[in-house]
Amino acid sequence: MTATDLPFDPDALRAKYRAERDKRVRLDGNEQYLEVAGDYSDFVDDPYIESVLERSPLDDDTEVIVIGGGFGGLLAGARLRDAGISDIRLIEKGGDFGGTWYWNRYPGAMCDVESYVYLPLLEELDYVPTEKYVHAAEILEHSRAIGAHYDLYDNACFQTEVTGMRWDDDEARWIVSTNRGDEMRAKFVVMANGPLHRPKLPGIDGITDYTGHTFHTSRWDYHYTGGGPHGDLTGLRGKRVGIIGTGATAVQCVPHLGESADELYVFQRTPSSIDVRNNRPTDPDWAASLEPGWQTERMQNFNALVSGQPQPVDLVDDGWTDIIGKLLVRIQREGADADLSPEGIAASMELADFEKMEEIRRRAQEIVDDPDTAEALKPWYRQFCKRPCFHDDYLDTFNRPSVSLVDTDGRGIDRITAGGVVANGVEYEVDCIVFATGFEVGTDYSRRAGYEVTGRLGRTLTEKWADGMETLHGIVSHEFPNLFIMSPGQAGFTVSFPHLLGEQATHIAYIIDHALANDVDSVEVEPDAEAAWVQQVIDKSRVSLPFLESCTPGYYNNEGQPEKRAAQNSTYGGGSIEYFQILADWRADGSLPGLQLTR
Ligand code: NDP
């Protein structure tokens, strides 16, 4: 098919995407958001615990402390147990395991990536989720099941927030301080803080002036709304509700708010791309037919497809993998004329993306009755500029007479008053404001972690990383012996984040096991090995810069300023498949290249 046969004009789409991006780019980038601290700290109180657990401060010594009880911490704990390590303590600020699934219990919360791929350790726990995309409560339950299966509840400290940690070089121990007055010592520490766990608020005037009820989606207030994660928010009968933000979270909870509130205003700055969800219960015959190794095979198949590597079969076959399907159809259509050079594939990929997004825009047009609302709900950017969303009720919600989309044409809301939200110069009076404004991503690592780490030379991680992250493989950093970081920074990005966490957990457990088995006191990356990895990350980051630069702002592209993010703070530009291979080859070498071991 030639450009003239296409049912859309690529040049016109490129120009439209650019214009929509340009009107949203703001000089203040990440600075536009408010840190949830000080006057705003109520927004992060835990609404899910009955009472604060009393216990005495601890000053004991543990072999491995894992900070964070989400999938990262659980996977690290599981792999450490597999390696035969018994003395482990998980520290978690929530009241139980689950991490993001502990906090995000908003109505409609569910897995966005197929659950057979997304939920970790399914084969190990002999479990198959009940739906293709399971609801949040089941994911939280699975997190608890992992904790129980690997005995990670033993010695765990919940409702405990790390406030700082420092390396004691004489004792070769980390001293971990917490908000409970603990001064715990540990030989090794794994930081599995989670990348999206510090809620953020829009930096606009008036949030503290507002006299109605308000909360962030990651601390859903069911005491106020009534109902539960399944919806039926009876407390909202007779209430006018405003929700700010239309990202992946809002897309899942808006249908429930729309169903229950007397009036719902959805304040939109940029529409999300809403593809078909098509959720369905798990077929028991299929579940019974699964052969050992099925989950790894499925995870790898999915990851390859969403990384742009065609596969003989698409095991997941959903909206995530569909774009690759469209690319393959395009290449097949072109037959022998297909240009399979990297530039040729990139050009075909762009056309496949246009085709996909035209389909998404048509879907909004077909489902939403009011033409202006339908138009405002159309996303004008490439599919992976923002987190793609999948939902079968979100768009329909705007056909309810009680639901209004307040589109701000890229500007966002103006301010908040005592009585409501001002957008496009109009005040909307509401009884409750729900902030679906997401989580901190581009801020300093320590600010996001919520604590500072002081290394062997008395420098903090923030000081060391002032000009950008410095690690080997995103996992270990010079001056910070026996410390392991689980995060996407300088590591391979995966659509299904637990896949990356699983690979990092295996890697970390390998190093710790090796150190313990060989009576090693400390493991520290050598400066040369670290510098080489940083350079590799910088070199590879150039590949994705033009794409990110063309995207509408969001946390994927540092709020429209990808060039301002230190190139070395990006994920590994060679992609997750290459990154996983690098880790596997490094382990296969057996000599822990680049690490200095001290006895
Ligand atoms: P996002 O950061 O994706 O969305 C925040 C929203 O708030 C955006 O729509 C943003 O608009 C909007 N916003 C910010 N400031 C303003 C303002 N001043 N005025 C109006 N609107 C504003 O957060 P989410 O919580 O939705 O999602 C975060 C991530 O969590 C997802 O990307 C995904 O990775 C994960 N997630 C996963 C799910 C799953 O697997 N089940 C479900 C939900 C979330 P703009 O786009 O213009 O910046």
Is the CB of residue 316 less than 8 Å from the CB of residue 305?
yes
CA of 531 to the centre of ligand 1 (A): 34
* Closest atom, ligand 1, to C-alpha of 411: 19
Tell the residue number behind the tokens 């703070």, with chain if given: 569
Higher pLDDT, 61 or 34: 61
Same domain membership, residue 203 and residue 188: no
CA of 270 to the centre of ligand 1 (A): 10
In the structure, what pLDDT confidence band is assigned to residue 4 with cuts at 50, 70 and 90? low
Higher pLDDT, 558 or 443: 558
pLDDT of residue 43: 86
Last residue of a domain, one of 400, 419, 435: 435
Same domain membership, residue 422 and residue 384: yes
CA of 438 to the centre of ligand 1 (A): 4
Strand partners, 135: 110
Q: Is residue 126 part of a domain?
A: yes
Domain with residue 237: its CATH number is: 3.50.50.60
Burial class (CB in 10 A: 0-12, 13-18, 19+), 270: buried
Average model confidence (pLDDT) across the chain: 93
What is the per-residue pLDDT across 13-30, written as a single tens digit (0 to 9) for each?
Answer: 999 999 999 999 988 888
Rounded Cα distance, 562 and 548, in Å: 6
Residue nearest to atom 14 of ligand 1 (CA): 437
Pocket test for ligand 1, best of 387, 421, 497, 501 (most atoms within 8 A of CB): 387
What is the per-residue pLDDT across 470-529, written as a single tens digit (0 to 9) for each?
Answer: 999 999 999 999 999 999 999 999 999 999 999 999 999 999 999 999 999 999 999 999
* Closest atom, ligand 1, to C-alpha of 554: 48
Same domain membership, residue 580 and residue 510: yes
pLDDT of residue 486: 97
Residue nearest to atom 13 of ligand 1 (CA): 245
CA of 285 to the centre of ligand 1 (A): 37
Residue nearest to atom 15 of ligand 1 (CA): 202
Q: Which two tokens stand for residue 228?
A: 């539960």
What is the per-residue pLDDT across 432-448, written as a single tens digit (0 to 9) for each?
Answer: 999 999 987 767 777 77
Residue nearest to atom 5 of ligand 1 (CA): 437
Same domain membership, residue 488 and residue 381: no
Same domain membership, residue 465 and residue 454: yes
Q: Is residue 316 part of a domain?
A: no
Residue nearest to atom 45 of ligand 1 (CA): 270
Query: Mapped to the 3 state alphabet, what secondary structure does 164-212 carry?
Result: EEEEECCCCEEEEEECCCCEEEEEEEEECCCCCCCEEEECCCCHHHCCC
Residue nearest to atom 32 of ligand 1 (CA): 387
CA of 554 to the centre of ligand 1 (A): 8
Rounded Cα distance, 461 and 165, in Å: 11
Q: Which two tokens stand for residue 529?
A: 């090995």
Average of per-residue pLDDT across 74-103: 97
In the structure, what pLDDT confidence band is assigned to residue 3 with cuts at 50, 70 and 90? low
Question: Which of 486, 554, 583, 557 shows the shortest CA–CA distance to 99?
Answer: 486
What is the per-residue pLDDT across 289-336, written as a single tens digit (0 to 9) for each?
Answer: 999 999 999 999 999 999 888 899 999 999 899 877 777 777 777 777
pLDDT of residue 1: 46
Same domain membership, residue 522 and residue 411: no
Is the CB of residue 110 less than 8 Å from the CB of residue 132?
no
Same domain membership, residue 591 and residue 555: yes
Number of domains in the chain: 2
Helix ranges restricted to H, 368-496: 371-376, 394-397, 445-449, 461-464
Last residue of a domain, one of 366, 400, 435: 435
Same domain membership, residue 110 and residue 20: no
Same domain membership, residue 171 and residue 107: yes
CA of 455 to the centre of ligand 1 (A): 34
Q: Is residue 300 part of a domain?
A: no
Q: Is residue 48 part of a domain?
A: no
Pocket test for ligand 1, best of 114, 437, 496, 559 (most atoms within 8 A of CB): 437
Q: Is residue 49 part of a domain?
A: no
CA of 197 to the centre of ligand 1 (A): 13
What is the per-residue pLDDT across 219-275, written as a single tens digit (0 to 9) for each?
Answer: 999 999 999 999 999 999 999 999 999 999 999 999 999 999 999 999 999 999 999
Instruction: Give residue 417's domain range.
Output: 10-35+199-277+352-435
Q: Is residue 82 part of a domain?
A: yes
CA of 244 to the centre of ligand 1 (A): 9
What is the per-residue pLDDT across 324-374, written as a single tens digit (0 to 9) for each?
Answer: 777 777 777 777 788 888 788 888 889 989 999 999 999 999 999 999 999
Pocket test for ligand 1, best of 26, 32, 118, 196 (most atoms within 8 A of CB): 196
CA of 574 to the centre of ligand 1 (A): 26
What is the per-residue pLDDT across 523-556, written as a single tens digit (0 to 9) for each?
Answer: 999 999 999 999 999 999 877 788 888 899 988 8
User: What residues are in contact with ligand 1 under a 6 Å CB criterion?
Assistant: 110-112, 196, 202, 204, 244-250, 252, 267, 269-270, 387, 412-413, 436-439, 554-555
Same domain membership, residue 116 and residue 28: no
Residue 2 has pLDDT above 60, yes or no: no
pLDDT of residue 336: 76
Helix (H, G, I), strand (E, B) or coil at 119: coil
Q: At 347, phi and psi to the nearest 5?
A: -65, -40
Q: Is residue 120 part of a domain?
A: yes
Residue nearest to atom 40 of ligand 1 (CA): 112
Same domain membership, residue 462 and residue 577: yes
Please list, in sequence order, all residues whose beta carbon lies within 8 angstroms of the beta carbon of residue 323, skipping any fewer than 6 positions away. Answer: 352, 353, 356, 383
Last residue of a domain, one of 389, 417, 435: 435
CA of 364 to the centre of ligand 1 (A): 19
Q: Is residue 290 part of a domain?
A: no
Same domain membership, residue 156 and residue 107: yes
CA of 68 to the centre of ligand 1 (A): 22
Average of per-residue pLDDT across 168-183: 97
Which residues of 74-182 form beta strands (DSSP E)?
88-91, 162-168, 173-178
Residue nearest to atom 19 of ligand 1 (CA): 412
Residue nearest to atom 48 of ligand 1 (CA): 554
Residue 136 has pLDDT above 50, yes or no: yes
CA of 59 to the centre of ligand 1 (A): 40
Strand partners, 264: 241, 403
Is the overall model pTM greater than 0.75, yes or no?
yes
Pocket test for ligand 1, best of 106, 246, 551 (most atoms within 8 A of CB): 246
